[in-house]
Structure 1
Amino acid sequence: MAQQTTLDEWARDPLVDPEVRAHVYSLVNALGGNGEDGTYTLGDDALLCLKDLRKWLKFADAELGRRDAARCMAEAKLLQGDLLPILAKMSEKLMTQKLKYKVALAVLELLVPLTWPYEIDPLEPTENQINHAPYIQLAQIGYKRAILHFDRAQILNTVVKIALPPMAIPLRERGPRDEAIIRIALYFIRNVVMLSPPSSVPVDIDEAEVSRSTTIDTLHDQEIFPALLTVASNIGEDYVVQDVVILEVLFYLLKGIDAEKLFLDEKKLSSRNTDELKALMQKEKAMLADSARHAPTRHNRFGTMVWVKRDDEKVSTLSGQDFLGKAQKTMEKMDKTKKWNKPKGRSRKKNDEFDRDEFDLEVPLTTSAHKHLKSFVEEFLDSSFNPLFMHLRKAIEREEERIEERHSRQYFYLVAWFLKAECARRRNLKEKAADPKSAEILTAEDESYGLVAEVLNQATFILLNRFMQKSQDEKAWQDLNAGMKCFTQILFTVQEMSESALEEDQEIAENIQNRIFYEEATHDRIVQMLRSYKDQGFGYLDACTELAHVFLRMLERYAKQNVDLQIRSKRRARKMEAKRQGADSAGADVSDREEVENAQRTSTERKFDFDRYAHKFVNQSSVNTFMAFLKLHNELDAEQLKRIHRFLYRAVFKMKLGILLFRVDYIQLLHKLIKGPEGLDAALPSFKEWDEFVRHFFRTVVKKVQERPILYVEMLFSKINSTMFYLENGFDMAPPVRTPRAPAELEVKGDMTRQEQIGVAVGVLVNQNKSDALRWVREVLSSAIEERKAWQSMEEARREVAAAERQVEESGEEAPAEEPPKPPSILVRPDNDERRTAMFKDNKLRLLMTLVGCSRLGEPNDPEATWLIGSSVTVPELTEALDLIRKFEFEPPIYEDGKSAQDFLRSKATAIRRTARRVDFDDDSDGVDNDTEEDRGEYAPDGPTARKSTAKKILKRRRRARTPEELDDEEKRRRAEARLKRELEKQRNIKSTVFVHSSDDEDWDEDRDKEFFAKEQALRADTLAQFKRSLALGSPEPASKKRKGNVQAGSEKKKRKTPPKRRKGLFDTDESEDEDQPLHSSSRGSSPEAAALDTESDGESTDTPMSSQPAAVVTNGNKTPASVADKDTVMADAQDGTDDDDEDAAPTVRRAPLRTRGGFVIDSDSE
């Protein structure tokens, strides 16, 4: 129902297009109006009018950005005068009549864009968007008031009824239209909860009518909370895309509400409200008392003006009488009257979205709203928290299209809010259970933290750390604020879990703390967030200081409980890779090798040092953050003041870093805090602690200033790391002395001769333009040759003189010849300091010196170690080395494939590690190996076998079966030595040799050879007798594969008592294990059963059992016991002796118990 105006008035309005206004007003008039009986009556084309109005909102406003249609609908009172009466008229018969359902749905589709929070395009704002903003924002507050207080019907309840039919359809059968209906119904509830009075526009209605308390009461009265719980508890099963809408509803419903107050009982809540009121009244009283000291009276009403003459001959004028009598008062008055037009920097522009998402402003609740919200939160925690937040976390991780930038911030804020609420609820339950007058009893479910388990897992921690790091990098301070609140509340929850009565919760808390404190990146992030405060606002300041305080105290406690705490640190390592470019097809020259630096993240574990981290934590930037927080002491509560006090006490007295507070403004702030004016209230519980801290701090300041007067100047500035140590101790910090480290020792690759190795070393030095080093080596060798020759000449002369003086004894026997003395070692002296340094650091020069005969005495990392030319190096060797250096210096060697001398060098340590690398055993292994250095002569074991040996696995398996208990190291070593000794003894008994020798080269032992030939003669005789016996019995059949399988299968069964077997002959094979039986018999033919089976297999098979006990078969004069009939038997099918087609058939092996009749064994074929 539109308000009638003239066309002239429409034309004169410069803000709205007259054509748009005419169309909108005509549609509103055609929609309907009040009839004669006072009830609302729909027009004939009401449904079409609703659809046309929605089109105007969609195309004229959303696409063109004009917002003219929304302005016209607000002026025409469309929502209050038409849409709400239509919903009220349709609500009664909504579920029965299809036409009324369509009309109600069309009204809902129009209500959602009308109540959608007004936003100005941040990238391309239009003039109409800016001009219409105040009017439309005020109109939306009127919309909210009309919806909440509509008396003829429950609007929100009617909207839920519209969404009920689609909600009743299963998820798999639900279509896109059904999903859209559910979504717009939830969005309408979100819009109603989200709308709030704009801060930039004065509101002409009572704000209590659209307050949070009124909204909560309306949601409860119209039964919206059960609908929200239904959707939230079934997220992931019946609802998928509705999770972000529920998230926004919860965020705008709960932001700014104190979760701890929510779960206080009435008495404690009333007491807390009373204490807060008393504190406010006390602050007001202190302010009045302070102003009363300077309030005008009857005697000082007359004007007073004073001129103050300053040092620079300038005059300042002061008026009033409040500064008379005291110079300090005069200066304070001058400071108050000073004006400084501070240049305005680039400040962040706070838009309406920022105001809507602001969650640091506390929102008060009425008693009824407090009660209703508490009931809703309890039910939500019990039924909906885990499924909803698990589904949201996965959606954020996958970066679903429906997830916007603000949703991550809202998610982490709500995680913090609900964790705080759950902890408050548990404390309330414990207090009630501890009260003897209360009937409350704690159950296991109440003790467990399973209701919030989905936000205390590793996936949530990873997502939170990633979100905080991203927010910090992008300087999204509001997002980082939400992340810090979430992390702080997780720490509080874990702390309470560690104090739980359930061991499972304690173990979970221990695991969570270990994961949180294990990452050094988390430690560094906390410090960086504290340092990065500048002017992000009170909420950010409170969040970062609280997180730092809680994290540091919990980390200190955990480090004391876990002395060997290990943390993982990630550092950037530089890996040098050499790449070679191949020659092209045209035969181009090979390019030089290039060194490429690849930066990679390496993770290392190290022991955590809390003192070291605390020094990193306490620095000038973090002190500045806490002092900025202290400047707001009049607005802080007792817990926040205690937080600042603990940090400053740690910095000044525990860590002896009070020099960080030696700044004029900080000293003045601490003095003002106690002595005033506008200091702390002396009635506060923490005033005594602050008073004591300030007194001890000023004593420290006076003492330090007397020791070092330079602090008078340094108090004007912040302290830097380079001067802090001097200001604290009075002397500069001694630079750390690093122990020099010798370079890696080099060697020449391949099997090169000494001359070739010297050529490589000389070539490397020549390529590096170190001709001066080669000259020095030549001089050293030349000097050594001359000195060694001089010594040899002197020694030869001495021997001649000694021989001439020596006399032969009278007996005629000559005296024993003396051993010639060794030449003395020659000391290698560097010619300058640079050469001395090169002898320690240049590994190429050291390689050449080693190759020419020099040796180094001393520790590997001793720069003053001595180089000598040993006594064993002869003059020819030195001369040869000198000649090779002279040769290769001017004619460097040339190598194949374009290689340089550098390519033939390698690190000696790397080569040793490669050759000495062995396979590590597992925990069950005791390190037994056969890589001993003992010489086993010709009977050493042969080379590698064709297949991999399984002896080690069998040995482990037997060892584990034999010793299931844990063995100490001494026992393992003893057993390993015993096994090794047995292995060596067994290998010494091997009677075959690996090598073939020429008979002329061997030393014959007659006794040993006699014994050997005797054994060989007996072996040949045995073989010949066996051959003759086989000829007498008939031609032996060739052992088939089937018989081989039977033999092998039979050998794996249980051991039987068999006649003694003779040693195998020269032509024996593994398949024939009993050579005293005919070749066609089984390997177990020594038993009566096997003999009977083999006899049957040669002829026709029969099902008739044997009627008499068979005689025992005698083999080699030994009788087989009859008890073998109880043992396993190889079952062979009867077959014709001439049939060769079944040779490849697999043998049939059974371990089934045998059936007997009258003491006889029955073949399986007869069953």
Structure 2
Amino acid sequence: MSESEAPHATNEDSSLTVLKARIALLATAIGGPDYTSKLDPPPYKLGDDCLACLRDLKRWFKLVDDQQNRWDVAMACANYRILIDDLLPILIDWENKCYLAAKLSKEDNSNATSVFRNKEYHDSIALNCLQLMVLMTWPLILTEQSPSHQVALYTDLKKHQLSYKKQILLADDGKVLKAANRLAVNVLKINKVDRTPRENMVLRLVLHFFRNILAIEPGELSICAKQKSSSRGISSADMLPPDVSMDDISLNAVISAFHRNKVFGLLLTLSSSPAGEFDQEFINLPVMEVLFFLIKDLDHRVLITARKCKLQGSAEDEYSTAGLQLTQLLEKERRLKKIVVQNTSSRHSRFGALLSIQTHDNVRLTVSGGQNLLDDGSALKKLDNRKKWKKRVSTRQDDVVDKGLPNSLLNSQLKSVHLHSTTLKGFITFLENFIASAFNNVLHRITNHFTTELDQMTILQQVQYLLYYSWFLGYNREQRKLDGSVDATSVSGAVAETTFILVSSLLRKGYDEKNWIVTHAAMIAFNELLLLIGDESFKLSDDADFILPRLFNSERIQLLASLPKSSLRYSLQYMKSCVQLTHTALRTFEAYDNDSKLTISGNGKHERKASFSESDIASLMQSENLDRDEALELLSSSPKKYTINFEKVQRCYMNEPTIDSYISFLQRFKELDEEDLKRGLSFLHRVLTQSTEESLLFRIDLIVLLRDILSPQGISNASRLRKHFEDLSNYFLHSLKKKLKKSPAWFTGLLFPLLHDSEVGFYQKYCETKVIKKSAFYAVLPSRFKPIESEEELPSSHLLDMHFGILVSSLIDDGKQELVDGVIKHLSTIISDASINLNQNISNNTKSVKELVLDPDTNHDSLYFDKDFRALLARAGYCLPSTIKERCYISDGMEIAELDRNLQIITKYMTTPFETPNGLPSSSYLIRPKVNRDTGLEEQKEGDGDEPYDYTNPMIVSDSEANMVDDNGYFNDLQGSMMAEFDGREISKGLAKTKKSKNKRRTARSKKTSDADNNKHIRREKVLLSSKEFINDSDDEDFVNPVFFENEMYMRFLIDKHGGQLPDTKYTEFGKFAAERMANNGRTKNDFRNLFDGAIPQISDLRNGDFASTGPDKTLFSLSGLVSAQIEANTTNDGQIVSVESSNTKINENPEKPNSQVSTETRFANDDGSVSETPMTPTEQEDEHEMGHLARKRRRIFVEDDED
């Protein structure tokens, strides 16, 4: 120790000595045995200042251990045996006196003064004792940030806690638990209105005490990789004190003590009570933690087997779990003896056999044993076992020790816990009562709590929540298998909307953050969720209708398919959970694919066929006063239907990393159960027989694996599973022989990984040449722009500047800066050459200089298939190629000034970030049209295994921006739903559902109804909206004011008058002019003659004016007249909908299917009553299809004729 460190160490030692002395004084003053008494053993007598000493001791815990992050006070209390010699006797004596006082009060109606001189004083002492016991039994956690003095005290303090646990469970049959129970019952007796926050804290304190007892375990080494127990000499046996055995602190002992002292009754009371009975913030999380520690090391099959024996009343209930394990060990011993006899030399024959092999470098490898002469594999295996391998040093992938999780969590076999038959019986009764009355309540409250505080959810809480969720679902599932009278209603809260989204979010978050223990727990929970959804009782429920559309979306499928890719790097238990989830997910997807393409509706039950009769139709028509068409629509309506193509979903799992994981999983077949082997076999069977990707299995390690599984040392001959592996092996070898015969290159390909080159890999997989008809490729349509805020008020130059900014920033965000640089370089060359030619009076009409040529190896295809880049080229003045045979060049009609202006704008946004008006990425203003595959790109045939999975394919699920829901955003929407209702908005959870509207074809009978409000509703197409965007009836009212369209005509008049570009001064003055007309219903008060350079034109003159081709659009004239006519008709008809026939105006829309060749026409009424037809261009038609009904609502007004 250096001289500088010596004074510091001396001061620390002296302060620690003073601390221990003060703790010793407090321990003496609390009290002790009364040796003056004649009783044996002597009773405990409280000190005169017992309550003050207990409070001082709590202050020492807070000042030193909590605030200074030390364990010195806890260690001093352990050395002076305060909990064992003082706190336990005080609580037991208090419990005995309370029991005696309650008994006397029932017999002779006397009060407690005969037992307690000052009951409140003794109650305070008991409560302070319980608080200290909670502090002394709090779980110990070591992390990488733990100071050295905590590491030094960890082992000793852990042993003291194990002694505490033994004394608490065994002292007077665990009566301390009954004392803690009594403190909680005293709070329950108080009316909920009169309870104070301090009394609610007592409930949480009692639950924490139960949690701490359950959490104390030997060998709970939450130490980082640099502080592992092996390097510190700490083992499970070393963690036990000399006077403590595993039976004293086992889960069986804890459950037995809880049952004797009525702890389970208190847990049921708190968890099954209504939400308003207690302050849920104090009891929700502790209840979940207590249940988590109760069930985390228990296997469902142990409990269900015991329950089965109880129901059947067979003699099997005489066998304990330990007896069954002993039977398994004896069977294992018999098999090992058989192997020894087969591989051991006899006494007389082949004794002393020696086999020697000389290598190429004259090194001899020698192995002894006569059996090696007959079995080459045995000899080689023995040689391999004698090799000295260098142990690989690798970083733990699932190192989450800084989160307080035990190392054995989720990695144990769940079969080491033994429960006595009497203990098991009482515990099963508690579990059944809890599931029936309290599971849904606790799950709902905890989910709501974590929903609002998802960011504050610790790793330990995430794991506890997921395992609590999955364990009780699994137990209920096993119950339903055993007893048909048990249904899944008691766990229906597991498929609630918020629960499904929280579990899905934890799975996604754990995988994205590479937090593998959370991912492991989430996989277990999600597997149980899928099994519950597959139950018949949930297939027709509204909960299933909410979950299934979200389960079948592309992001969820992609996540589930990504999980097995990396599972081989983690523990065997992690691989088991991943394989089990994959097996369940594939079966779920396959069930909905094979069931006649089962359709799932978004707001109703599954519609296999019409479930209503003629009587239902007649009843609805009579009760709602509707016609037959309206009744049929209401009975069979569904806003959106989802279907799943299982072949494409299955293709997501057909990749090399997933095959590697399954082969690595099956290579440990000796450690796997029969169910695990079946799941692995099922997946290999899918790859080999049900897909076109069988070439993924043509590899040496799978051949070796099948040989080992079918060897005498592999799966037993008596196992039925061996026959299935033999069938798989035969079919696999048969397919491999055919492949080798058809393509001898596979003799070499077996030795190496598959090639991922497009053409070579395709030929290796399918022995066929991939035909790509590039001459048939059509170029994609360029991206288009969505409406920008206040676009009508912007000058054309400013709008062009924004369009360039959107396109350039979008390309830069996508990492395509090279494309923009190529355009800048090409435009600069053209402008430079044009300037030189202009100065020298040389005319150049060739396209060689103006043709844009990109790098043919990297960026050449972007001219034809990059939508955003093609939009930039079109804005910059290029003529776009429609096929790959055409070229991209600058047209001869382009002026040099325009090109120079475009070049300056593009160059500006290469260095200056573009700020969007809506604050979102620039791509939010772009519409990327879908590729027309009927006339463009050729689709790959079904058997092409090299085709990437199309996650946007509608055969799997609709994943447009309009109906996708973000799970994380869902929680934010839940918080604001109540305020939204007060604001008049109706919000649905998960997906925003459309509002039901009346049929737009109203009959005379429906007009006579007394409900006048119904006549004000106009039927709209059902639209699925984003969860953060709301559209109501008021959105359509913006189009009703005709002054808006008149202002548009004035704007077009001014723009045409100034040659297509309005000066900034004129534009500012026109803004005032338009605002004043809107505010005064078309009239102006100020003088705007400077704006028009004379008198303000009349609207009638603008309507009849004859402008150039760049003049105002006739559509605005017609819309203005149309809206004016509608308002006048509404005024005259007292609010009735205008009949289109009376105004000779018809605006019609014919929405067609994608790629439809039928032209869509829109009719507009002129002033003279004639009708002019403006056919929609193909671009507008595709825009209609891309934007859906929402875009149509914003661009058009729908008025339809009444039914003839």
TM-score, normalized by length of structure 1? 0.60
* Alignment partner of 2:149 out of 128, 131, 144: 128
User: Which has the higher mean CA deviation after the structures are superposed, 224-233 or 127-136?
Assistant: 127-136
Residues in 2 aligned to 1:40 and 1:534: alpha-carbon distance in whole angstroms:
59
Residues in 2 aligned to 1:245 and 1:473: alpha-carbon distance in whole angstroms:
29
Shift of 1:219: 0.7
Contact 2:533 2:539 in 1 (8 A): no
Confirm whether residue 484 of structure 1 aligns to residue 484 of structure 2: no
Confirm whether residue 239 of structure 1 aligns to residue 279 of structure 2: yes
Confirm whether residue 308 of structure 1 aligns to residue 357 of structure 2: yes
SS of equivalent to 1:92:
helix
Residues in 1 aligned to 2:190 and 2:671: alpha-carbon distance in whole angstroms:
54
Q: Provide Cα deviations, 1:346-398, integer angstroms capped at 9, x if missing partner.
A: 22557573237447541342222221121111111222122211111111011
Contact 2:400 2:517 in 1 (8 A): no
Matches within 5 A, 1:861-876: none
Contact 2:549 2:600 in 1 (8 A): no
Structure 1 371/42 Cα, relative in aligned 2: closer, same or farther at 3 Å? Answer: same
Residues in 1 aligned to 2:873 and 2:836: alpha-carbon distance in whole angstroms:
12
Contact 1:642 1:686 in 2 (8 A): yes
Residues in 2 aligned to 1:33 and 1:610: alpha-carbon distance in whole angstroms:
74
Q: Provide Cα deviations, 1:195-222, integer angstroms capped at 9, x if missing partner.
A: 1222634124321221111211111110
Matches within 5 A, 1:606-645: 608-645=644-681
Q: Which residue of 2 aligns with 1:456?
A: 495
Confirm whether residue 290 of structure 1 aligns to residue 339 of structure 2: yes
* Alignment partner of 2:135 out of 113, 117, 128: 113
* Alignment partner of 2:65 out of 61, 66, 77: 61
Q: Provide Cα deviations, 1:302-360, integer angstroms capped at 9, x if missing partner.
A: 87765421123222343555534544432222111112113312225575732374475
SS of equivalent to 2:365:
strand
Paired letter, 2:650: A
Confirm whether residue 949 of structure 1 aligns to residue 1129 of structure 2: yes
Measured on the aligned residues, the alpha-carbon RMSD in Å equals 5.3
* Alignment partner of 1:741 out of 778, 781, 784: 778
Matches within 5 A, 1:523-602: 523-561=557-595, 563=597
Q: Which residue of 1 aligns with 2:212?
A: 191
Larger Rg: 1
Structure 1 895/126 Cα, relative in aligned 2: closer, same or farther at 3 Å? Answer: closer
Shift of 1:20: 3.1
SS of equivalent to 1:316:
strand
Structure 1 711/83 Cα, relative in aligned 2: closer, same or farther at 3 Å? Answer: same
Contact 2:405 2:460 in 1 (8 A): no
Paired letter, 1:323: N
User: Which has the higher mean CA deviation after the structures are superposed, 110-119 or 63-72?
Assistant: 63-72
Q: Provide Cα deviations, 1:790-844, integer angstroms capped at 9, x if missing partner.
A: xxxxxxxxxxxxxxxxxxxxxxxxxxxxxxxxxxxxxx99999999x99x98999
Shift of 1:253: 0.4
Shift of 1:478: 1.2
SS of equivalent to 1:318:
strand
Q: Which residue of 2 aligns with 1:250?
A: 291
Shift of 1:541: 0.8
Confirm whether residue 679 of structure 1 aligns to residue 714 of structure 2: yes
User: Which has the higher mean CA deviation after the structures are superposed, 107-116 or 767-776?
Assistant: 767-776
Paired letter, 2:284: D
Contact 1:243 1:391 in 2 (8 A): yes
Structure 1 560/62 Cα, relative in aligned 2: closer, same or farther at 3 Å? Answer: same
Q: Which residue of 1 aligns with 2:309?
A: 266
Paired letter, 1:34: P
Structure 1 735/172 Cα, relative in aligned 2: closer, same or farther at 3 Å? Answer: farther
User: Which has the higher mean CA deviation after the structures are superposed, 613-622 or 66-75?
Assistant: 66-75
Q: Provide Cα deviations, 1:410-468, integer angstroms capped at 9, x if missing partner.
A: 112111111122223333331xxxxxxxxxxx5xxx55x44222221222121122111
Matches within 5 A, 1:176-575: 176-198=197-219, 200-202=235-237, 203=240, 204=242, 205-234=244-273, 236-237=275-276, 238-241=278-281, 242-263=283-304, 264-266=307-309, 270=316, 280-295=329-344, 298-299=347-348, 307-347=356-396, 351=401, 353-355=405-407, 357-358=409-410, 360-362=412-414, 363-399=417-453, 403-430=457-484, 442=485, 447=487, 449-496=488-535, 498=536, 500=537, 506-508=540-542, 510-512=544-546, 514-561=548-595, 563=597
Q: Which residue of 2 aligns with 1:924?
A: 1000
Confirm whether residue 48 of structure 1 aligns to residue 49 of structure 2: no
Q: Which residue of 2 aligns with 1:1142?
A: none
Structure 1 226/15 Cα, relative in aligned 2: closer, same or farther at 3 Å? Answer: farther
Residues in 1 aligned to 2:67 and 2:875: alpha-carbon distance in whole angstroms:
79
Residues in 1 aligned to 2:148 and 2:827: alpha-carbon distance in whole angstroms:
78
Structure 1 296/114 Cα, relative in aligned 2: closer, same or farther at 3 Å? Answer: farther
Structure 1 16/487 Cα, relative in aligned 2: closer, same or farther at 3 Å? Answer: farther
User: Which has the higher mean CA deviation after the structures are superposed, 364-373 or 261-270?
Assistant: 261-270
Structure 1 647/249 Cα, relative in aligned 2: closer, same or farther at 3 Å? Answer: same
Matches within 5 A, 1:796-875: none
Contact 1:262 1:370 in 2 (8 A): yes
Residues in 2 aligned to 1:682 and 1:305: alpha-carbon distance in whole angstroms:
31
Contact 2:137 2:212 in 1 (8 A): yes
Shift of 1:470: 0.7
Residues in 1 aligned to 2:399 and 2:897: alpha-carbon distance in whole angstroms:
76
Structure 1 712/26 Cα, relative in aligned 2: closer, same or farther at 3 Å? Answer: farther
Q: Which residue of 2 aligns with 1:1038?
A: none
Structure 1 704/69 Cα, relative in aligned 2: closer, same or farther at 3 Å? Answer: same
SS of equivalent to 2:339:
helix
Structure 1 957/78 Cα, relative in aligned 2: closer, same or farther at 3 Å? Answer: farther
Residues in 1 aligned to 2:27 and 2:408: alpha-carbon distance in whole angstroms:
31
User: Which has the higher mean CA deviation after the structures are superposed, 400-409 or 694-703?
Assistant: 400-409
* Alignment partner of 1:81 out of 80, 85, 92: 85
Residues in 1 aligned to 2:217 and 2:732: alpha-carbon distance in whole angstroms:
48
Q: Provide Cα deviations, 1:498-549, integer angstroms capped at 9, x if missing partner.
A: 2x3xxx8623465155324332111000011111213321221111111111
SS of equivalent to 2:771:
coil
Q: Provide Cα deviations, 1:886-910, integer angstroms capped at 9, x if missing partner.
A: 99978989999x999xxxxxx9x99
Contact 2:495 2:544 in 1 (8 A): no
Residues in 1 aligned to 2:655 and 2:894: alpha-carbon distance in whole angstroms:
61
What's the % identity of the aligned pairs?
A: 23
| Structure showing greater relative contact order (alpha-carbon pairs closer than 8 Å, 6 or more residues apart) | 2
Contact 1:517 1:567 in 2 (8 A): no
TM-score, normalized by length of structure 2? 0.58
Paired letter, 2:67: E
Paired letter, 1:394: N
Residues in 1 aligned to 2:594 and 2:367: alpha-carbon distance in whole angstroms:
60
SS of equivalent to 1:41:
strand
Structure 1 62/956 Cα, relative in aligned 2: closer, same or farther at 3 Å? Answer: same
* Alignment partner of 1:165 out of 186, 189, 192: 186
Structure 1 298/40 Cα, relative in aligned 2: closer, same or farther at 3 Å? Answer: farther
Contact 1:925 1:956 in 2 (8 A): no
Residues in 2 aligned to 1:355 and 1:861: alpha-carbon distance in whole angstroms:
62
Structure 1 25/665 Cα, relative in aligned 2: closer, same or farther at 3 Å? Answer: same
Confirm whether residue 698 of structure 1 aligns to residue 733 of structure 2: yes
Contact 1:481 1:540 in 2 (8 A): yes
Residues in 1 aligned to 2:872 and 2:54: alpha-carbon distance in whole angstroms:
91
Q: Which residue of 2 aligns with 1:1021?
A: none
Structure 1 774/673 Cα, relative in aligned 2: closer, same or farther at 3 Å? Answer: farther
SS of equivalent to 1:675:
coil
Residues in 1 aligned to 2:183 and 2:654: alpha-carbon distance in whole angstroms:
59
Contact 1:15 1:131 in 2 (8 A): no
Q: Provide Cα deviations, 1:739-761, integer angstroms capped at 9, x if missing partner.
A: 443687999xx9xxxxxxxxxxx
Paired letter, 1:248: E
Q: Which residue of 1 aligns with 2:1050?
A: none
